[in-house]
Amino acid sequence: METAIKINGLKKSYLDLQAVKGINLDVEKGEMFGLVGPDGAGKTTTIRMLCGLLEPDGGSAEIFGKDLIKNKKLIKKEIGYLSQRFSLYGDLTIDENIEFFADIHGVKDYRKRRDELLEFTRLTPFRSRLAERLSGGMKQKLALACTLIHKPRIIYLDEPTTGVDPVSRRDFWKILASLLKEEITIFMSTPYLDEAERCNRVALMNKGNIISFDTPQKIKASIGKDVIEIVCNPIKDAYKLIKTRRDFEVQMFGDRLHVVVDDCSKDCPELENLLKDNSISITDLRQVPPSLENVFIHLISSEQ
């Protein structure tokens, strides 16, 4: 498999803040790669360096075997970038926005490609509508069409579904899945761990470091522990109670708790008795498969 992106010891600081601390990654051609982490983890800085928009302080990166710094102009023709604040022009129609970005990238015969992209993103019926009158989901689809107009081999998507409604978010993912059939490499950042489950491989990032890097399945298996899900009342009291136990790691998800334990068969009865002895009513208590979110929280907790 051809390597699309290779990163060695990439670093970037802003004054005293180390945003990216010497990370190492490789992304294969035609895969969907997810860079996952909270705000401030270093995701956007990493992507902006890979797009040639920020100069690294150290380390190196190669795009299809070409050094990123030495071949910046050549590489920019190979990539597309959809930033968190992609600049559409509200007073231009969908058609005119795509035409504008085609002109920026020097695509002269763009009309056939534009029609294909509008069909692909299901925007054809709205092509004469002004961008400022589009919904959040439609704006993201238009931004993606503008990103793809020059047929890049790699697209960088920086948190593309943040603030998008669930239906549009699902449609956007269907579009991304279709792009993989064209062997376009997708490098995306997201704060949503459920989205990361859809990626071929994932890097979990926190405070400028990569803390885990593998397929979602292997990352989930790497925790080496069992997860018990509990629905109970009062949930906050249960959380505080379990948190006092050093042998249990408790995580709160809305109306339920996830407790990370060494051995469910041994720890489940003990956990159940602990709650009942403290007058906490249990609605449901069962073992569930570890999620990426469980692993991420576990890894961060282990660092502290």
- Domain coordinates in residue numbering, the chain: 3-220, 223-303
Pairing status of strand 281-288 against strand 66-67 = unpaired
Which SS3 state, helix, strand or coil, does residue 20 take? strand
pLDDT surpassing 90 at residue 192: no
Give dist(CA 278, CA 246) in Å, integer: 18
Radius of gyration of the CA atoms of the chain, in A: 22
CB-CB contact of 220 with 291 (8 Å): yes
* Strands (DSSP E) found in the chain: 3-14, 17-28, 32-36, 58-63, 66-67, 79-82, 154-158, 185-190, 201-206, 209-214, 226-233, 249-253, 256-261, 281-288
Round to the nearest angstrom and report the end-to-end CA distance of the chain. Answer: 38
What residue type is 144 in one-letter code?
Answer: L
pLDDT band at residue 136 under the 50/70/90 scheme: confident
- Does domain 223-303 fall under CATH 3.20.20.70? My reply is no
pLDDT band at residue 72 under the 50/70/90 scheme: confident
Q: What is the CATH number of domain 3-220?
A: 3.40.50.300
User: pLDDT digit string (tens) for 230-286?
Assistant: 999 999 999 999 999 888 999 999 999 999 999 999 999 999 999 999 999 999 999
| 92, two tokens | 């231009």
Q: What is the pTM of this model?
A: 0.90
* Cβ atoms within 10 Å of 194's Cβ, excluding its own: 10
Contacts 24+ apart (CB under 8 A), 60-67: 60/7, 60/8, 60/9, 60/10, 61/5, 61/6, 61/7, 61/8, 61/10, 62/3, 62/5, 62/6, 63/4, 63/5, 63/154, 64/2, 64/3, 64/4, 64/29, 64/153, 65/3
CB-CB contact of 280 with 233 (8 Å): yes
pLDDT band at residue 304 under the 50/70/90 scheme: low
pLDDT band at residue 165 under the 50/70/90 scheme: confident
CB-CB contact of 23 with 40 (8 Å): no
- The segment with the largest mean pLDDT, out of 58-67, 77-86, 159-168, is 58-67
Average pLDDT (138-162) is 92
Structure-token match 């489940």, residue found:
268
What residue type is 258 in one-letter code?
Answer: H
